[in-house]
């Protein structure tokens, strides 16, 4: 479904898919989130990529093709590309075509010998990749796998395995940790995450002619321990009616729109999920505080099992 259809259906169910956060403005706001002091995942993952770049390059090998799912600004993949030996092509995939084109242009300028072929697509629905030009390696950083229900995450990983055509997947996974750290990461003092959340309604105003009053919606994010996930909501501050594409939706004070989940995993828990999807888990790299992890997944056996700090 497109944004119009999916957003209206989501309003009926009081749940909007988080993929619709990422229009040009939402992508810009998310880049700001990644720079916030409270938001540990980005800087932790970047440090891991920098520290272990040579290990990743040795596993990927020369002449490879990198496919990044949910590429955004393609900041993290630069650390991989710099370490690789003669990569043949980079295929960034993202739902926000405008943002993707800007990132691809910057990569072409900085990596003049690399073929950069962006693909504006919703990889959560379907994906038609070009024929591979070398060993195809998938890259899915940022713990985005946590946005999916576990069964959905398993199905997505299985699709990645098929699309990679025998290649491996390097994936970022956020780990279970103190609820206070998680709460701070999703409720930053500057209110950038709140603006990112409310931008979903602003996008509906811009693109669907909706009449959401953004001041009438509060950002709410909290950790749900039994489900091991952060939940993000927009909560109606008062009784109100909203018109979207000619359809009226009524909300009472306290009603919420569920806009995102972010599941947190243990290392062993995620490895079990990967096995269900048809991958053989390989090495795992974590930071010293074990806040974040990078997993190497192969579609076949024979991979050593170890954890690098």
Residue 253's domain comprises: 3-16+179-263
Q: Is residue 210 part of a domain?
A: yes
pLDDT digit string, tens, across residues 21-63: 999 899 999 999 999 999 999 999 999 999 999 999 999 999 9
Whether residue 309 has pLDDT greater than 60 = no
The CATH number that applies at residue 142 is: 3.40.50.150
Q: Is residue 211 part of a domain?
A: yes
Closest CA to 11 of 149, 261, 204: 204
Give the model's pLDDT for residue 239.
98
Give the model's pLDDT for residue 302.
41
CA dist list (Å): 63 to 81, 110, 111, 159, 233: 11, 18, 14, 24, 44
Q: Is residue 251 part of a domain?
A: yes
pTM exceeding 0.75: yes
Residue 122 and residue 247 share a domain: no
b (16+ CB within 10 A) / e for 95-105: bbeebbebbbe
pLDDT digit string, tens, across residues 174-192: 999 999 999 999 999 999 9
Give the model's pLDDT for residue 42.
95
Whether residue 306 has pLDDT greater than 60 = no
Give the model's pLDDT for residue 106.
93
Residue 259 and residue 160 share a domain: no
How many domains is the chain partitioned into structurally?
A: 2
Residue 258 and residue 271 share a domain: no
SS3 261: strand
Give the model's pLDDT for residue 180.
96
Whether residue 173 has pLDDT greater than 60 = yes
Give the model's pLDDT for residue 301.
56
Segment 207-232 shows an average pLDDT of 97
Q: Would you state the torsion angle of the CA atoms of residues 202, 40, 32, 3, taken in this order, to the nearest 10 degrees?
A: -30
73 pLDDT tier (thresholds 50, 70, 90): confident
Whether residue 97 has pLDDT greater than 90 = no
């Amino acid at each position: 479904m497109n944004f119009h259809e999916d957003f209206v259906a989501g309003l009926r169910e009081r749940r909007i898919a988080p993929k619709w956060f990422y229009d040009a403005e939402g992508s810009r706001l998310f880049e700001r989130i990644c720079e916030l002091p409270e938001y540990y995942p980005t800087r932790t993952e970047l440090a891991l990529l920098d520290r272990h770049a040579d290990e990743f390059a040795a596993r990927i090998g020369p002449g490879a093709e990198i496919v990044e799912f949910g590429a955004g600004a393609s900041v993290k993949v630069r650390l991989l590309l710099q370490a690789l030996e003669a990569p043949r092509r980079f295929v960034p995939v993202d739902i926000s075509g405008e943002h993707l084109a800007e990132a691809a242009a910057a990569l072409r300028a900085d990596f003049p010998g690399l073929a950069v072929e962006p693909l504006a697509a919703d990889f959560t629905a379907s994906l038609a990749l070009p024929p591979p030009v070398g060993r195809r390696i998938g890259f899915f950083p940022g713990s985005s796998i946590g946005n999916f229900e576990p069964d959905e995450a398993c199905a997505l990983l299985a699709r990645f395995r098929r699309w990679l055509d025998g290649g491996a997947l390097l994936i970022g996974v956020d780990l279970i940790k103190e609820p206070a750290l998680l709460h701070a990461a999703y409720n930053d003092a500057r209110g950038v995450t709140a603006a990112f959340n409310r931008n979903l309604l602003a996008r509906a105003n811009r693109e669907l002619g909706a009449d959401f009053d953004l001041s009438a919606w509060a950002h709410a994010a909290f950790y749900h321990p039994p489900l091991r996930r952060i939940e993000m909501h927009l909560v109606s501050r008062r009784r109100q009616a909203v018109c979207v594409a000619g359809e009226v939706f009524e909300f009472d004070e306290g009603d919420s729109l569920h806009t995102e989940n972010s599941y947190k995993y243990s290392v062993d828990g995620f490895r079990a999920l990967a096995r269900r999807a048809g991958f053989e888990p390989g090495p795992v790299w974590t930071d010293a505080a074990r806040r974040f992890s990078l997993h190497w997944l192969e579609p076949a056996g024979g991979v050593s099992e170890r954890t690098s700090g």
